Chains A and B, each alone.
Chain A
Amino acid sequence: MHIVDQLNRKLDARFGDKVRAQQEGDVVTLTGHVDTWMEKVEAGRMCASKQRSYYIVNDIVSEKEDILPMRVPPIKDTLLEGKHYDAVIIGAGIVGSAIARELARYNISILLLEKEHDVAMQASSRNDGMVHPGIDLKKGTQKQKYNKLGNEMYDKVCEELGVPFQRVGQYLGFVQKGAKYVLPLTPVHWHKMGVPCKYVSRKELLEKEPHLNKEVVCGLSFPSAGIVCPYNLTIAYAENAVDNGVKLSLDTAVLNMNVQNGVITSVVTNRGTIYPGVVINAAGVFSDEVAQMANDRFFSIHPRKGTNAILDKKAAYQVQTIASFLGTASTKTTHSKGGGVVSTIDGNLLIGPDAVETNDKEDYATTKESVASTFAKQGIASPLLKIPDIITYFTGVRAPTYEEDFVITKGRKTKNLVHAAGIQSPGLTAAPAIGVSVAKMAVELLGESKEVTLNKNFNPIRKAIPRTAELSIEERNQLIKQNPDYGVIVCRCEEVSRGEIIDALHRSVPCDTVDGVKRRVRPGMGRCQGGFCGPLVTGIIAKEKGISIDEVLKSGYGSELVYNPTKEALQNE
């Protein structure tokens, strides 16, 4: 029996004749009508191939709640009208930014597009910052391949880009009594997958992590796991790309494409129509919609929310590395690698995430339930975790395909297109390797019509903003002598100086918002969450950018922090 017949029988049993599957090549397209978004996702999941032998395009219409349209910036101008670029990258998340930097190694013109007001605004700033060792990834998947390659690149990339990175290792704890007999055998399996792994006894585990749940019987150690600040790395990639000649256009959304004879001839944006040599789809949750515009859709994204909670630095002693417990709800949850308790590169503890399907690709609202369930799930790892230690929480939206794998390939029908799509966890880990691979594919495509040479002036080194609080007294003294602004502390919780904030405002990736400054140098990330420094940072931005305080934005357009001057101030003017 054909696959599609089997699928239709399954669909009949669940949905009656409301939903049909059709097959063309290795793409199965689902059509029909269901009531809710969850039913649509369920149909897609039912039909997805475990062996990834075909792709699912889910065109079922969900009557009550279908996917919400992409939010588009309120800008309309002709900034990019009529411009030609060899490579146009859609999406300046970690993947798009890494691709941009890798492409900058060649003598080609590159345009990096981002619909938000800053880079790293979506999944890239909304994850737990884990550089995964590769646990739980199946051999032969794109995820497994790029995770391994990416993980190995991290030391060098972070060194070059001036981004703090630590290979803290991950401990996977087990509470089942039998585990200590079975577990010593498992490292062999992981080694075969290219994942360094070691069996650790209870004693050894508790020596390394003395505050873990005492019921643990033994564990596995994955020394190649690391932690990084995901938006810091994305910003660094983008800055290095721009420093090497990439043109970055923010507030720029791709609205349409013209495709003729299997070639994208132009890309229509809110800031003009662009003429690309090759187009790279790194549009995250919108990558299926971009594929559709490019006439090359063979996968569907079903967005999945996850919430992480961040704890006060004073709670950080509990876990020094990354700790997860197996056999608990956290790792059994479908399609979430479970997360755990992650010590962040900035010295907080992060707990999470959970996994909830949603029909809104930009649904960043947190809920009481998700924080509570995240906490309940991870609580087993360390009994000392307390909800009152939470200083903030945030939600991200993953971009899974129904195959639950990355889509990293040249276009299937469209010739001048490369997809870096469906990138969900472990996308952060994989990004450096995806960047290299996709850049190579793009150069191959460009090479068909023109000669592509190496850019001899490419400089892989990015100078980071100094973090004065982490310098030695001598270094700090020297810096303050050069520039006294480094001696004025604006954010007391995170000890951020005025000099660092001014630095953040004048770098190659434009930054002019309170949240943008926060992501770069951390004022407002501490326990008072900007209560004290928020207005001060606003004042510094106004001064540095030569605008008035009521023009300063928190995040994107429309997020002005204050309105008109007070009556008193008006009289003084």
Chain B
Amino acid sequence: MNKEKLYDVVVIGGGPAGLAAALSADEKGASVLLIEREARLGGILKQCIHDGFGLVRFGKKMAGPEYAQTFIDKIEKSKVHISLLTFATSIEKCDDGVRLTLVNCDGVETIIAKSLVLSTGCRERTARQIAIHGTRPAGVYTAGSAQYYTNVLGYMPTKKCVILGSGDIGLIMARRLTLEGATVIGVYEAKPTPSGLTRNIHQCLHDFNIPLYTSQTVTRVFGKERLEAVEVTMVDENMCPIKGTSKIIECDSLILSVGLIPENELAESLNVACDNRTKGPVCDQNYMTMQDGIFVCGNALHVNDLVDYVSESGEGAGKSAAQYQNEKRRLVEINPDNSFLYVVPQRLNLEKPIDSVVMFFRSNIERGKTKLSVTVDDKEVYTKIYRALRPPEMERISIDFTKLPIDEKSVIKLSLKEVSK
């Protein structure tokens, strides 16, 4: 019987979250193994050759690969073990922590991790998942696939396309394809307001005269072999297509930027509880999921709009994983009301520091001047006034929960209320 290798921390996924997690765990003195499925570190940043990364963290605009490289350089100098082209096929709980089965060119190996960080990123919603009907021709791509073809393989997925969804990748691909000589007929968005960051609406659409059509969606595709046309229909406030408002637009590709979903197949196999709002695991302020010793960060936890925050959560998760001692938790639930799309973390562990708890949230709708209020047993512990809130822009706050008495029976609530100007 082979002796299984034992690590303090195993990080799954070598994107921005995983890199940060592995580095911070290493800095805390843990033995760390970083597993990456692809041949190179960097995750999705490898194909994000546009700039705008690192503004919050480094105060300058960097390209995706450039941003990733700052972490890769550090990790190569660290003691972190890196296993590339390696796939975790299964995870199971065991006495010493978790046992992972890994597959790569050398064969199958099982290892044991005292604690595990899931930084598996997210995946894109597909045409079928948003009920686009019709035939199944070539030329229907998610924005990420189109980006991979363009930026990594160096081939044009389209000459003339329609982009559905105004998510950030869709906006960035609108600009990218235009720069490469393709015609982007328009970006169509089913919601009444755009889904991407304001800065991307300006830099990617307005600056290139690409039209944005809101409250319209693609309802059907045509073409047997290659896409020949799409049917675009107006939708009502419930996003239901309005009869008689359809028109046919000829194009050779439909590029979808219709939402990202945290990738949690491995988490599911460990029965990690997930939050219906984020679609990622429920966690505490130390990024530990409801399974002891299993941590989560980056887009696997919730879909971030800035990589800088992804790195921050990776650092937090890596640090906590390195310090994990199998101690008991005392958890209090955090209850956002319906004015939020979501709030992360969803629990507070009273056994760990609560003096500067970092929370991320998104408003469920566009709001003007709005007051955020955090209460413990109906007493305000934190308030902040925002000039405006938009669902695509994720907000970050840091709260000191030591100001008020708090125990497991306490009720923590968050609410958003518009205030008159």
Q: Which residue of A lies closest to B177 (CB)?
A: A566
C-alpha gap A314/B267 in the complex (Å) = 12
- Contact (Cβ within 8 A) A561 B152: no
A354 to nearest B CB, angstroms?
14
Chain A residues within an 8 Å CB radius of B149: 535, 538, 549, 561-562
Highest count of chain A CB atoms <10 Å: which of B136, B139, B148 = B136
Given contacts A480-B105, A495-B87, A535-B148, contact A528 B155 (CB under 8 A): no
Task: Please pick, from A371, A493, A566, the residue contacting B155 in the complex, using a CB distance under 8 A.
Answer: A566
A272 to nearest B CB, angstroms?
24
C-alpha gap A558/B139 in the complex (Å) = 11
Q: Which residue of A lies closest to B241 (CB)?
A: A368
Chain B residues within an 8 Å CB radius of A484: 105-106
- Contact (Cβ within 8 A) B225 A558: yes
Within 8 A of B (CB), among A321-364: 362, 364
Chain A residues within an 8 Å CB radius of B154: 565-566, 568-569, 572
- Contact (Cβ within 8 A) A558 B226: yes
> For the complex, is A473 an interface residue (Cβ under 8 Å from B)?
yes
C-alpha gap A539/B226 in the complex (Å) = 19
> For the complex, is A367 an interface residue (Cβ under 8 Å from B)?
yes
C-alpha gap A473/B220 in the complex (Å) = 45
Q: Which residue of B lies closest to A573 (CB)?
A: B154
Chain A residues within an 8 Å CB radius of B144: 531-532
C-alpha gap A532/B146 in the complex (Å) = 10
- Contact (Cβ within 8 A) A564 B105: no
Task: Please pick, from B105, B127, B133, the residue contacting A367 in the complex, using a CB distance under 8 A.
Answer: B133
> For the complex, is B192 an interface residue (Cβ under 8 Å from A)?
no
Q: Which residue of A lies closest to B227 (CB)?
A: A559
A311 to nearest B CB, angstroms?
11
- Contact (Cβ within 8 A) A71 B224: yes
Number of interface residues of B (CB under 8 A): 50
Chain A residues within an 8 Å CB radius of B85: 487-488
If over half of A's interface residues share one DSSP class (helix, strand or loop), that class is named, otherwise mixed; here it is: mixed
A529 to nearest B CB, angstroms?
4
- Contact (Cβ within 8 A) A559 B133: no
- Contact (Cβ within 8 A) A488 B138: no
> For the complex, is A445 an interface residue (Cβ under 8 Å from B)?
no
Chain B residues within an 8 Å CB radius of A468: 103
- Contact (Cβ within 8 A) B131 A563: no
> For the complex, is A467 an interface residue (Cβ under 8 Å from B)?
no
Within 8 A of B (CB), among A482-536: 484-485, 487-489, 492-493, 495, 497, 527-532, 534-535
C-alpha gap A557/B224 in the complex (Å) = 10
Q: Which residue of B lies closest to A550 (CB)?
A: B155
- Contact (Cβ within 8 A) B126 A529: yes
> For the complex, is B29 an interface residue (Cβ under 8 Å from A)?
no
> For the complex, is B417 an interface residue (Cβ under 8 Å from A)?
no
C-alpha gap A240/B77 in the complex (Å) = 54
- Contact (Cβ within 8 A) A566 B108: no
Chain A residues within an 8 Å CB radius of B134: 365-366
B132 to nearest A CB, angstroms?
9
Task: Please pick, from B103, B108, B225, the residue contacting A556 in the complex, using a CB distance under 8 A.
Answer: B225
C-alpha gap A492/B263 in the complex (Å) = 11
Contact string against A for B residues 210-228, beta-carbon threshold 8 Å, 1 for contact and 0 otherwise: 0000000001100011100
C-alpha gap A534/B138 in the complex (Å) = 11
Q: Which residue of B lies closest to A389 (CB)?
A: B129
Q: Which residue of A lies closest to B179 (CB)?
A: A567
C-alpha gap A367/B224 in the complex (Å) = 15
> For the complex, is A458 an interface residue (Cβ under 8 Å from B)?
no
> For the complex, is B398 an interface residue (Cβ under 8 Å from A)?
no
A207 to nearest B CB, angstroms?
24
C-alpha gap A476/B139 in the complex (Å) = 36
Given contacts A549-B155, A563-B158, A567-B180, contact A528 B225 (CB under 8 A): no
Given contacts A480-B106, A564-B156, A566-B155, contact A366 B138 (CB under 8 A): no
Task: Please pick, from A473, A549, A555, the residue contacting B138 in the complex, using a CB distance under 8 A.
Answer: A555
- Contact (Cβ within 8 A) A492 B124: no
Chain A residues within an 8 Å CB radius of B129: 388, 390-391, 529
Within 8 A of A (CB), among B115-149: 123-124, 126-129, 131, 133-139, 141-142, 144-145, 148-149
C-alpha gap A211/B220 in the complex (Å) = 34
Task: Please pick, from A388, A481, A495, A539, the residue contacting B107 in the complex, using a CB distance under 8 A.
Answer: A481
C-alpha gap A239/B66 in the complex (Å) = 49
> For the complex, is A560 an interface residue (Cβ under 8 Å from B)?
yes
> For the complex, is A392 an interface residue (Cβ under 8 Å from B)?
yes
Q: Which residue of A lies closest to B142 (CB)?
A: A531
B44 to nearest A CB, angstroms?
10
> For the complex, is A553 an interface residue (Cβ under 8 Å from B)?
yes
Chain A residues within an 8 Å CB radius of B225: 554-559
A58 to nearest B CB, angstroms?
26
- Contact (Cβ within 8 A) A314 B104: no
B220 to nearest A CB, angstroms?
8
- Contact (Cβ within 8 A) B106 A365: no
Given contacts A314-B268, A488-B105, A529-B128, contact A365 B135 (CB under 8 A): yes
Chain B residues within an 8 Å CB radius of A563: 155-159
Chain B residues within an 8 Å CB radius of A497: 103
- Contact (Cβ within 8 A) B138 A567: no
> For the complex, is B265 an interface residue (Cβ under 8 Å from A)?
yes
> For the complex, is A185 an interface residue (Cβ under 8 Å from B)?
no
Chain A residues within an 8 Å CB radius of B124: 528, 531
C-alpha gap A534/B141 in the complex (Å) = 9
> For the complex, is B181 an interface residue (Cβ under 8 Å from A)?
yes
- Contact (Cβ within 8 A) B156 A562: yes
- Contact (Cβ within 8 A) B103 A569: no
Q: Which residue of B lies closest to A484 (CB)?
A: B105
Chain B residues within an 8 Å CB radius of A367: 133
A563 to nearest B CB, angstroms?
5
B274 to nearest A CB, angstroms?
11
Within 8 A of B (CB), among A395-439: none
- Contact (Cβ within 8 A) B157 A562: yes
Within 8 A of B (CB), among A462-483: 468-469, 473, 476-477, 480-481
Q: Which residue of A lies closest to B87 (CB)?
A: A489
Q: Which residue of A lies closest to B103 (CB)?
A: A487
Contact string against A for B residues 95-109, beta-carbon threshold 8 Å, 1 for contact and 0 otherwise: 000000101111110
Given contacts A368-B133, A534-B145, A535-B145, contact A492 B150 (CB under 8 A): no
C-alpha gap A473/B99 in the complex (Å) = 14
Q: Which residue of B lies closest to A479 (CB)?
A: B107
> For the complex, is B153 an interface residue (Cβ under 8 Å from A)?
yes
> For the complex, is A393 an interface residue (Cβ under 8 Å from B)?
yes
A117 to nearest B CB, angstroms?
10
A498 to nearest B CB, angstroms?
9
Chain A residues within an 8 Å CB radius of B61: none
- Contact (Cβ within 8 A) B265 A493: yes
> For the complex, is B37 an interface residue (Cβ under 8 Å from A)?
yes
Q: Which residue of A lies closest to B128 (CB)?
A: A392
A567 to nearest B CB, angstroms?
6
Binding site for A on B (CB under 8 A): 37, 85, 87, 89, 101, 103-108, 110, 123-124, 126-129, 131, 133-139, 141-142, 144-145, 148-150, 152-159, 180-181, 219-220, 224-226, 265, 268
Binding site for B on A (CB under 8 A): 71, 314, 362, 364-368, 371, 388, 390-394, 468-469, 473, 476-477, 480-481, 484-485, 487-489, 492-493, 495, 497, 527-532, 534-535, 538-539, 549-550, 553-569, 572
Additional A-B contacts beyond A394-B136, A493-B265, A559-B226 (12; CB < 8 A): A477-B107, A488-B104, A492-B265, A529-B128, A531-B126, A535-B153, A554-B138, A556-B224, A560-B226, A561-B139, A564-B155, A568-B154
